[in-house]
Amino acid sequence: MLKAILSISGKPGLYKLVSQGKNMLIVESLVDKKRFPAYGNEKIISLGDIAMYTDTEDIPLQTVLLAMKTKENGAVVAMDLKKATTDELYSYLEAVLPTFDRDRVHLSDIKKLISWYNLLVKNDMTNFEEAPAEESKEENAE
């Protein structure tokens, strides 16, 4: 599921991959459900390709989102990101991912992680345990 959810640099929120054209992707915003083309010159990354830095090895975003889902019992994170202090944000991530690398994971990364998680929960896209075999089939089709 995370392979079909995209982050587009310079655009807020997350986008669902709807279709592929010759030199573009058709994406749908998870915020307002509007569809538009995303071109190759934009930095587009699938959530399935993102990992979080830890003290040992990088942990896939899927694993972090799964830990957040478990901690929040499938609900959105109740924290107000605009009013949350630095300590509150780092404490939250430490509760979810105790070994995260404090030097390489920035405050903006934690805010983005929480906002992405909340957006996925609000859109009922919480199946973070999807089998990788299905995802690799999609990659081969490209």
Q: What does the pLDDT look like over 56-72, one tens digit per residue?
A: 999 999 999 999 999 99
Enter the tokens of residue 56: 């040992």
Confidence at 22, pLDDT banded by 50, 70, 90: confident
Task: Give the contacts of 130 (CB within 8 A, at least 6 positions apart).
Answer: 1, 2
Q: What does the pLDDT look like over 80-130, one tens digit per residue?
A: 989 999 999 999 999 999 999 999 999 999 999 999 999 999 999 888 875
Confidence at 1, pLDDT banded by 50, 70, 90: confident
Which residue intervals of the chain bear CATH 2.30.30.730?
2-47+132-141
Q: Which residues pair with 6 in a beta bridge?
A: 15, 46
CB of 31 closer than 8 Å to CB of 119: yes
Q: Which fold has domain 2-47+132-141?
A: SH3 type barrels. (2.30.30)
pLDDT for 25: 93
Q: Which fold has domain 49-122?
A: Arc Repressor Mutant, subunit A (1.10.10)
Q: 1-5, 35-39, 66-70, 125-129: which range is least confident on average?
A: 125-129
Which residue intervals of the chain bear CATH 1.10.10.1650?
49-122
Radius of gyration of the chain (CA): 15
* Distance, CA of 126 to chain centre: 11
pLDDT for 86: 92
